[in-house]
Amino acid sequence: MRLAKVIVDVPTMQTNDPYTYLVPDELSDKIQKGMRVIVPFGNGSRKIQGIIADVDNDGEFDGKLKKIEGILDLEPVLNPELLSLSKWMSKKTYAFQISCILTMLPSVMRAKYQKQLVLNSDDVDDDILKLFDGSTVIDFDVDKLPNDIVRKIIQARKKRQVVIKYKVQDNAKAKKIYALSSKISTDEAKHELENIRKNSKNLIKILQYIISHPGESIAQRKLAKDYDISESSIKTAIQKNWFKRFLQEEYRNPYKQTVKRNYPLKLNDDQANAVNTISDSIEKENDQVYLLEGVTGSGKTEVYLQTIQRALKMGKTALMLVPEISLTPQMVKRVKGRFGDRVAMLHSGLSSGEKYDEWRRIENGEADVVVGARSAIFAPLDNIGVIIMDEEHESSYKQDDAPRYHTRDVAKWRANYHNCPLVLGSATPSLESRARATKGVYTLIRLPHRINNQSLPEVRIIDMKEQMKENGQEDFSNELLAAINNRLQKHEQVVLMLNRRGYSSFVMCRNCGFVLHCPNCDISLTLHMDSRTMKCHYCGHEEPIPNKCRNCGSKKIRYYGTGTQKVQQQLQRLVPNARILRMDVDTTRRKGSHERLLQRFGNGDADILLGTQMIAKGLDFPNVTLVGVLNADTSLDLPDFRSSERTFDLLTQVSGRAGRAEKSGLVYVQTFNPDNYAIQLSKKQDYELFYRKEMSIRHETNYPPYFFTVKITASDVNESKAAAKMFEIAKILKAKLSQQAIMLGPSPSSILKLKNKYYYQIIIKYKHEPNMDECLEYILNHYQKDAQKGLYVNIDPDPLNFM
């Protein structure tokens, strides 16, 4: 018997192990490991998508087996490497293997399930007959039908007058275009040319094309455009049997404009040392992890590019990861300009069709350099020579939802699989990585100087408490304003950052202190001037801006917190002749707008770039000599042990935008907490000093990297149920773990209520807990039955925040 093990698209514990199916004879020679298939599942007529994990040519099975219904792919979509990676990831992140697999594949490969209604007999209620409107099969969307019809359908189904069927819809479709190949020989074409009327200009052009391109095929659109031939003449040519017309696959090309070619720069000694050291590992095929700690503007990107080049020369491929936010047009140009069409880009700016095409180019071996954000770590590259993670400290490398993987861990797994080095680059490495480098687990490579030996910009801290007294302004100090005016005179450029993490503009009553909250979530609503509404950033709830207080009726309502839009207006009043560009989620929503804004700034069409965190990273503009951080505090206030580290990182990154070329830079950091150590140390921009200080604090307080952590969360619409579950889990943990494990909680999560659900959590800090895995798996298995009732338990290993 030919059997196949199939991982089915039903994310539950019972289905986490592959199911065995019978391979029918007609599919026997097509089925391969890693293909998507359609299989029946459960008792009814339900059909779902699955992935073949294994094929057994002469298997044995007692009992009745279901048959595989059909295949969705002609070739495997998951190679053996990615298949075993998904298995490892499932264990490591306490997620279902099918969730891991679907995370790895382009989203279009996730089949949609469409319920269908099939008419079995004409002897059925008139309303139902009307619904079918002459056909015998229709799509069945319960939500779209009125209740009384649904009731009638349920009755009809009981009598077997109608049946419900499931259709698996594959959304992975290649784009097809018409192409032409000549059906006549060159001689025949020459003969036609002699007999054709002289004024049939278009047909003459077509025959000349056929004569000069024997045996070639061409896209119909291209023939019309490049040779200036009318579509109707092409149709005539097809009718005359000169051409055969057929459908051809085409890749959607997300980068239509041609990128200017750029060439390797002559490396300085530190850079050359870095490239040589890493390349040595590529050649020797050892999976060493390198931590490239280079100050801002030290030329890390050039090190990446030349390392990639070495890998390509050795006939290998390369994978480079960057945080979504720094996948700027500048970065794209640098990589595309260096490696051209060999580069595939994967990021959230692409449509799902474009992503699928880039993915297939990689899969087909047409691209051997892949650049992308988090999920690009799953790019189906073969023969990887080097994996690079830029800004490795960035929190966006950890996925928030299941599977809660950290890109760094997956990168290490793949580096180990391919026997290739992994390069972690940053000006402010995560404490975890830097600590491993101290221990010798990673190899530390440093780039301590800026290119051209330009010094790091001077950083001045401004106490806003004093400033408020002086000029009553809470956003702009006198010093910063003076410096801005000075740059305007010198025709130099300014970058201003408004730190908005965990802080947005909300509405507060000055009379009673009432703040407008989302009715579904436990957080304040955010003011949006463009749509003139209050919005919830979590659930999307929207309502009009109030003009009087809902609590006390007072009209003394004030907007608190600073939105970029409001700051822009204020700044424009303070420096009337400055040309200001604003960059935030609102101005970059449309495709390409991010790029256009940066282009304008780069061309010198604006003096000031005002933006959110989005401008802190990666920008490289030589004429920027002043950077201002308007509010450094907001990320300090978060209830999270990493808030100092985040603040230090952010301030260092944004400071690094100033003085990157010949002219030196200056940075102003405005804060209400001038004595905070993270702010003080960012003044020195001394990462090593910050590292030592922060490590001693983590040591005292038993936090990572000295301790491991895991977060367990329970959620339910009923608050007491979520809490009770957490206390139950706490008991299990106490019984199974050692005395050394430290438990924080159970406690409500800091955003207690989200999308109408309550969240309770426990955080465990531990050093050595041999039982931990087993214990967490026990909890996962145990809660399964609750999920159907709406009570969810989640496990987050190495959580990025404790909120």
Ligand X SMILES: Nc1ncnc2c1ncn2[C@@H]1O[C@H](COP(=O)(O)OP(=O)(O)OP(=O)(O)O)[C@@H](O)[C@H]1O
Q: From the annotation, which residues make up the binding site for Zn(2+)? A: 509, 512, 518, 521, 536, 539, 549, 552
Q: For the CB of residue 554, give the shortest distance to Zn ion in the complex, in Å.
A: 5
CA-CA distance, 92 to 616, in Å (whole number)? 32
Q: Name residue 674's amino acid.
A: P
CA-CA distance, 529 to 304, in Å (whole number)? 42
Q: In the beta sheet, which residues pair with residue 162?
A: 119
CA-CA distance, 342 to 370, in Å (whole number)? 8
Per-residue contact flags (x/-) with ligand X for residues 532 to 571, judged by CB under 6 A: ----------------------------------------
Question: By the 8 A CB rule, do 647 and 682 touch?
Answer: yes
Q: For ligand X, which residue of 65, 71, 259, 267 counts as binding (CB under 6 A)?
A: 267
Only segment of 293-301, 339-347, 633-641, 663-671 that touches ligand X (CB under 6 A): 293-301
Residue 559 binds which entry of ligand X, Zn ion, none, with Cβ cut-offs from 5 to 8 Å by kind? none
Phi, then psi, of 158 in degrees rounded to 5: -60, -35
Query: Is residue 512 at the binding interface for Zn ion, with CB under 5 A as the rule?
Result: yes
Only segment of 156-164, 264-272, 276-284, 484-492 that touches ligand X (CB under 6 A): 264-272
* Spatial strand order in the sheet of 526-528: 526-528, 533-535, 542-544
Neighbours of 310 (CB within 10 A): 19
Q: For the CB of residue 331, give the shortest distance to ligand X in the complex, in Å.
A: 9
Residue 265 binds which entry of ligand X, Zn ion, none, with Cβ cut-offs from 5 to 8 Å by kind? ligand X
Nearer to ligand X, 92 or 300 (CB): 300
Residue 18 binds which entry of ligand X, Zn ion, none, with Cβ cut-offs from 5 to 8 Å by kind? none
Query: Is residue 751 at the binding interface for Zn ion, with CB under 5 A as the rule?
Result: no
For the chain, state the CA radius of gyration.
Answer: 31
Q: Which residues, in sequence order, are CB contacts of 762 under 8 Å at separation 6+?
A: 711, 712, 726, 729, 730, 733, 743, 744, 745, 746, 747
**Number of chain positions touching Zn ion (CB under 5 A):** 15
Q: For the CB of residue 225, give the shortest distance to Zn ion in the complex, in Å.
A: 50
Q: For the CB of residue 385, give the shortest distance to ligand X in the complex, in Å.
A: 21
Per-residue contact flags (x/-) with ligand X for residues 28 to 67, judged by CB under 6 A: ----------------------------------------
Degrees, nearest 5: CA angle 151-157-161:
120
Residue 267 binds which entry of ligand X, Zn ion, none, with Cβ cut-offs from 5 to 8 Å by kind? ligand X
DSSP symbols for 633-674? -TTTSSSSTTHHHHHHHHHHHHHTTSS-SSS--EEEEEES-T
- Half-sphere exposure in the Cβ direction for 720 (13 Å, CA): 0
**Cα dihedral 507, 512, 513, 516 sign:** negative
Q: Name residue 782's amino acid.
A: H
Phi, then psi, of 449 in degrees rounded to 5: -120, 155
Query: Is residue 297 at the binding interface for ligand X, with CB under 6 A as the rule?
Result: yes
Query: Is residue 602 at the binding interface for ligand X, with CB under 6 A as the rule?
Result: no
Nearer to ligand X, 39 or 445 (CB): 445
Residue 271 binds which entry of Zn ion, ligand X, none, with Cβ cut-offs from 5 to 8 Å by kind? ligand X
Nearer to Zn ion, 85 or 523 (CB): 523
Residue 520 binds which entry of ligand X, Zn ion, none, with Cβ cut-offs from 5 to 8 Å by kind? Zn ion
**Number of chain positions touching ligand X (CB under 6 A):** 19
Only segment of 229-237, 299-307, 696-704, 756-764 that touches ligand X (CB under 6 A): 299-307
CA-CA distance, 802 to 646, in Å (whole number)? 14
Per-residue contact flags (x/-) with ligand X for residues 386 to 425, judged by CB under 6 A: ----------------------------------------
Residue ranges in 617-656 that form contacts with ligand X under rule CB under 6 A:
618, 620, 656
Q: For ligand X, which residue of 137, 265, 468, 552 counts as binding (CB under 6 A)?
A: 265
Question: By the 8 A CB rule, do 105 and 72 touch?
Answer: no
Q: For the CB of residue 345, give the shortest distance to ligand X in the complex, in Å.
A: 18
The beta-carbon contacts of 409-413 under 8 Å, at least 24 apart in sequence, are: 409/92, 410/85, 410/89, 410/377, 410/378, 411/321, 411/377, 411/387, 412/289, 413/85, 413/88
Question: By the 8 A CB rule, do 505 and 735 touch?
Answer: no
Residue 656 binds which entry of ligand X, Zn ion, none, with Cβ cut-offs from 5 to 8 Å by kind? ligand X
Nearer to ligand X, 86 or 655 (CB): 655
Q: For Zn ion, which residue of 179, 518, 632, 800 counts as binding (CB under 5 A)?
A: 518
Q: For the CB of residue 787, give the shortest distance to Zn ion in the complex, in Å.
A: 23
CA-CA distance, 107 to 356, in Å (whole number)? 8
Query: Is residue 298 at the binding interface for ligand X, with CB under 6 A as the rule?
Result: yes
Residue 4 binds which entry of Zn ion, ligand X, none, with Cβ cut-offs from 5 to 8 Å by kind? none
CA-CA distance, 477 to 554, in Å (whole number)? 32
Query: Is residue 170 at the binding interface for ligand X, with CB under 6 A as the rule?
Result: no
CA-CA distance, 226 to 622, in Å (whole number)? 40
Query: Is residue 429 at the binding interface for ligand X, with CB under 6 A as the rule?
Result: no
546-582 in b/e form (b: 16+ CB < 10 A) is eeebeeeeeeebeeebbbbbbbbeebeeebeebebbb
CA-CA distance, 666 to 485, in Å (whole number)? 14
Query: Is residue 271 at the binding interface for ligand X, with CB under 6 A as the rule?
Result: yes
Degrees, nearest 5: CA angle 303-305-306:
70
Phi, then psi, of 177 in degrees rounded to 5: -130, 165
Nearer to ligand X, 5 or 393 (CB): 393
CA-CA distance, 250 to 228, in Å (whole number)? 22
Nearer to ligand X, 214 or 448 (CB): 448
Per-residue contact flags (x/-) with ligand X for residues 686 to 725, judged by CB under 6 A: ----------------------------------------
Query: Is residue 294 at the binding interface for ligand X, with CB under 6 A as the rule?
Result: yes
Detail the residues annotated as belonging to a binding site.
509, 512, 518, 521, 536, 539, 549, 552
**Cα dihedral 240, 242, 247, 253 sign:** negative
Per-residue contact flags (x/-) with Zn ion for residues 520 to 559, judged by CB under 5 A: xx--------------x-xx-x-------x-xx-x-----
Q: For ligand X, which residue of 302, 354, 633, 796 counts as binding (CB under 6 A)?
A: 302
Nearer to ligand X, 268 or 288 (CB): 268
* Spatial strand order in the sheet of 624-629: 458-463, 666-671, 624-629, 493-497, 608-611, 580-583
Q: Which residues, in sequence order, are CB contacts of 724 under 8 Å at separation 6+?
A: none
Nearer to Zn ion, 231 or 543 (CB): 543
Residue ranges in 653-672 that form contacts with ligand X under rule CB under 6 A:
656, 660
Nearer to ligand X, 448 or 540 (CB): 448
Q: Which of 1, 6, 799 is nearest to 405 (CA)?
A: 799
Q: For the CB of residue 557, give the shortest distance to ligand X in the complex, in Å.
A: 42
Question: By the 8 A CB rule, do 536 and 526 touch?
Answer: yes
> Which residues form the interface with ligand X (CB under 6 A)?
265-268, 271, 294, 296-302, 427, 451, 618, 620, 656, 660
> Which residues form the interface with Zn ion (CB under 5 A)?
509, 511-512, 514, 518, 520-521, 536, 538-539, 541, 549, 551-552, 554
